[in-house]
Each structure stands twice: as structure tokens, then as C-alpha cells.
Structure 1
């Protein structure tokens, strides 16, 4: 029997970007539109809310003292002890209509960072590659960047433009995290309920995807076969992350964004963050190399 429990009952308008730090046993995640970074120990402890003063969507560990935060104007280095944010690399900083969205670190230490229009304008976003201070645009014309994740050996990358219903896969150079081939369709979700949102890949190559408006997390084998579907207690699960000392559980964020009062009453846990106690062979996120 699947066990889904509330990890944090703090309600996010747009909960996203969960990432686990094994050094501190803490899960970090975001309420993007309200500019908040959330932090909570997985083994138990109080929730901390860090006000960032800007929209932000993803976090990566640089070292024990610093984190890299993807924001609406670019990549910021955050001092863990003080919370001070220092701009490192501007990304679409001159475009007030876009913000960061889904992002994740490749096994080599490169970051893939997605952007999108704040109003979800068609084709307003892109997906970037950042490695040791260098920034390149990989894919343009993206409406809602999502599902950025990588195989454990770094040879495959996944991503989607949620508006298309197509989860893509592309070969990568394991040493640099740059694409080395043309993207191909991994999963065609267009005839299924909901939309492809955030994803993560475990040690077995299984891709775990949060299905926005689908009330589920789906697991796909390396050949794209649907292996299982885990029912969620919220309509809009947004992104999974492996958590725990053995990376053997899944945390999943969610959102109430876009719902009116009546819809929220029908979806009372929308915006909370959950833990799935199901068998997963997860792995920890790599550290990002900024220089």
C-alpha cells in the first residue's frame, strides 16, 4: 500500500524546486511567486522560512557554506550562515517578464536552468547550461520549462516544455553536461490526464515525474514504459526530490496557484509538501561547480 504523508503543512501558492542536502538532512524548496525559500529537517524539526525578496525556483549546493539559487534575474550565491544573496551570473536580468523555473545539476557539476514567462507567455522561456562561470542557451522558445534531470552516469538529460505534453530526452557529454545529440520524445503525455511537471531520475534509471493537474506521481523505466502511478492527495503536485540518509524516499511539492476559493476548498492540502514512503533507489544531487 502506498503511503503518502504530509511533510510540511505550510501552504505554498507555487511550491517548487525541492532539493535535499544530505550533510544537514534538510529539504529545501520554494514558494516561487512569494519569493520564499523553505527549509525543514527530514528527520524532524521546525520549518524555517527565508524571505528572498525576489522570485526564485531552484537551489544547488556549492559547498558547506554556500548555495546557488536560480532567481528571476539570474544565479545568486547564498551564504548559508547569513542568508546574504550575491548575484553571480545574470540570466534574462533585462527581461522583467520572465523568471527562473525548473533547474537541476548534472553529475559533472553543470547546472541546467530553465526560464519561463511570469504569465506563461508562449515561447518566452529557455533552458540554459551553466558550468564554471560559463553560461550558454541550449533551447529557446520554451513556454514552461520543466522536468530537467539526468541519468546517474550523466549520459542522458531529460526536459520538457510542459505546454507540449512531450517529455524529451537527449544524449549528453558526461564530462560537460552539454547535449551531444538531438532531443527525442521519451514520453508522449498528450493523451493522459494532467501535465508533465518536475522529474528526477533514480539509480536504476527510473524517472519519477510529478503530474500537474493529474493528482499523481508517475515512474517511467529507462525505455519510457510506465512502471507505476502513485496517487497524490492534491491536484497539482509539482516536483519530486529524493530525501533521507539513504535517498530512499520521495518528497513532493505542490501548489494552489490558479485556483479560486471554491476550488481550494475542494483541494484543501494544495500547496503542502509531502513524503512518499515507497521503495525508491534514489541518489543525492551533485554539487554545482561555479568556478
Structure 2
């Protein structure tokens, strides 16, 4: 078992959405409940405060991100902090906010929504592609584990309380085709899947809420290895570093009656595997 060490000690109430910007060699992540975006660059700690929940990002170019909030998808200028709305996201629904999201290999951006109090089946998963925001799946309570195989033929996602990571075939334009099937059922182990990312070999790395770990599953669904994370509520992994062999993992303090000093921090582990650069979002 590999052990991750604290990389950034700023504690997040709900750390999520880590993004390694491949052109900037810079890591970004969110504290959803704190309504802020955090970053670390060359040892310098950076953060931006928002007036609503923000949860996930993709990179558009060297200077701009796409960010998902509780009301919309918008572009974000890293240098100035200015933002511009691209598309509303359940802006008329005060119950929901955005949650897990990631860019796909064709430049689309997938984003899930959920109830702010995890209201049952209040959320959905959408894809923004070529200016169109289309709902893909509905009646989801906590959308997570959104990630893609390197060849772009398969997407993964989950509804955390259901404890099953689903595998979804995609067509040549990156839209779901056919029915999703169960990739991994974590129910028998009483584990709850959170965020996930695929490596260059097509294996899936899944953070498991409440278990303090990230588990690697081979393309056939078999458990391969585990990375231990000091924060109990491990929430989402991403590969980064110069050769994409470092695994960064967000954690959360939410729901912990006695949160120790490592809860909610960002962790890093060196691995013997290579991740894929995060896909660029094409507007």
C-alpha cells in the first residue's frame, strides 16, 4: 500500500475538483463549502473567493479555466479573476449546486449537479459540447467518478450512495450510446465511490469517501492496488507533475465530528504509473 503525504495543509470543508493545468504546470482545486478556488504554484499558495459554490474546472487555454458553479458554467481568467458566463446550470433551482466534473477527450465538459443537502435524486449529469449543454443522466443524488478512458470510447460515473461505478460507451462525438453497465460494485465492501481519474493504461483510480484511500481498478474491474490518504474523506484524485506520475488527492472535513489536522488537506503520492494530461475544453 502506497501512502500519500500532505502537499498543501490548507484545510477545506469539502475539498474537490483537483485540476493539473498541463500548460502552466499548476494545480487548482476547490473548497466547495468554502466557495473558493485554491492553487499552489512554485510553493506559493493562491486562492480566489466566490459568492456561490464552485466545484469543478477544466482548462481552456493557458490563461483561462472553465468553472462550474451552483448557477452556471463560466470562463475564469486566472490572472485577473474576471469571469464570463457561458451557460446557466440549473440557475432556476435553489436546491442544487454543481459537484464533480471533468473534460472528455473530445473537448466536452461533463458536470454533475446535486442537492445542497444531498436531497435524494435531485441532481443530474450534463455535457457541454460545441455550445450545447445537454442532460445525460437524471435522478442522481451525488454524481461522482466522472472520467474517461484515454481513447475516448468510454466514460465512467457514479451516484455515490448507490456504491456502483458505471461504465458508459460513447459514440464518435463523445455522446453516450447504449446503456451504462456496472464497472465496479462497492456495496459488498461498504465503500462509497467519490471522484475518479483514468491513467494512461486505462485503469481507473477512485477516491472512496470515508475510507481514506484511492483504489486503482484495472479495465476489467479488478482491484489492483490502493493508495492510503491521511484524510478520512478522500474525495477526488488527479495526476500531475512534470511526468504525470504524481497523484494528488483532495479530502474533506465535512461530516467529521472530530477532524484531525490532516482532514481536508490536499495530499500527494508518487506512483509508478503515468496519468494522462487533463483534456482541454474546446468552446
Is the shorter-chain TM-score for this pair beyond 0.5, marking a shared fold?
Answer: yes
1:109 aligns with: 107
**Which whole-Å CA distance do the structure 1 matches of 2:63 and 2:235 have between them?**
28
Question: How far did 1:253 drift?
Answer: 0.3
Q: Tell me how large the CA RMSD over aligned residues is.
A: 1.1
Q: Taking structure 1 as the reference length, what is the TM-score of the superposition? A: 0.95
2:219 aligns with: 222
2:73 aligns with: 75
1:27 aligns with: 27
Aligned partners of 1:98 and 1:117 also within 8 Å: yes
**Which whole-Å CA distance do the structure 1 matches of 2:7 and 2:103 have between them?**
24
**Which whole-Å CA distance do the structure 2 matches of 1:120 and 1:170 have between them?**
24
Give yes or no for the alignment of 1:188 onto 2:185.
yes
Number of equivalent positions: 283
Aligned partners of 1:198 and 1:240 also within 8 Å: yes
Question: How far did 1:132 drift?
Answer: 1.5
**Which whole-Å CA distance do the structure 2 matches of 1:214 and 1:240 have between them?**
14
Q: Taking structure 2 as the reference length, what is the TM-score of the superposition? A: 0.98
**Which whole-Å CA distance do the structure 2 matches of 1:185 and 1:194 have between them?**
15
Q: Deviations over 1:206-243 (max 9, x none)?
A: 10000100111100000000001122212100000001
Question: How far did 1:45 drift?
Answer: 1.4
Which residue of the other structure, out of 245, 267, 277, is the alignment partner of 1:274?
A: 267
Q: Deviations over 1:135-180 (max 9, x none)?
A: 110000000000000000100000000010010001012x422101
**Which whole-Å CA distance do the structure 2 matches of 1:268 and 1:80 have between them?**
29
**Which whole-Å CA distance do the structure 1 matches of 2:205 and 2:11 have between them?**
23
Q: Deviations over 1:228-277 (max 9, x none)?
A: 112221210000000101111100000000122xx21xx33110000011
**Which whole-Å CA distance do the structure 2 matches of 1:231 and 1:274 have between them?**
10
Question: How far did 1:3 drift?
Answer: 4.1
Aligned partners of 1:3 and 1:278 also within 8 Å: no
Q: Aligned to 1:274, what secondary structure does the other structure show?
A: strand
**Which whole-Å CA distance do the structure 2 matches of 1:229 and 1:63 have between them?**
33
Question: How far did 1:85 drift?
Answer: 1.4
Question: How far did 1:193 drift?
Answer: 3.8
Which structure 2 residues correspond to residues 114-125 of structure 1 after superposition, within 5 A?
114-125=112-123
Unaligned runs of 5+ in 1: none
Question: How far did 1:194 drift?
Answer: 3.0
2:242 aligns with: 245
Which structure 2 residues correspond to residues 124-135 of structure 1 after superposition, within 5 A?
124-135=122-133
**Which whole-Å CA distance do the structure 2 matches of 1:39 and 1:200 have between them?**
19
Give yes or no for the alignment of 1:233 onto 2:201.
no
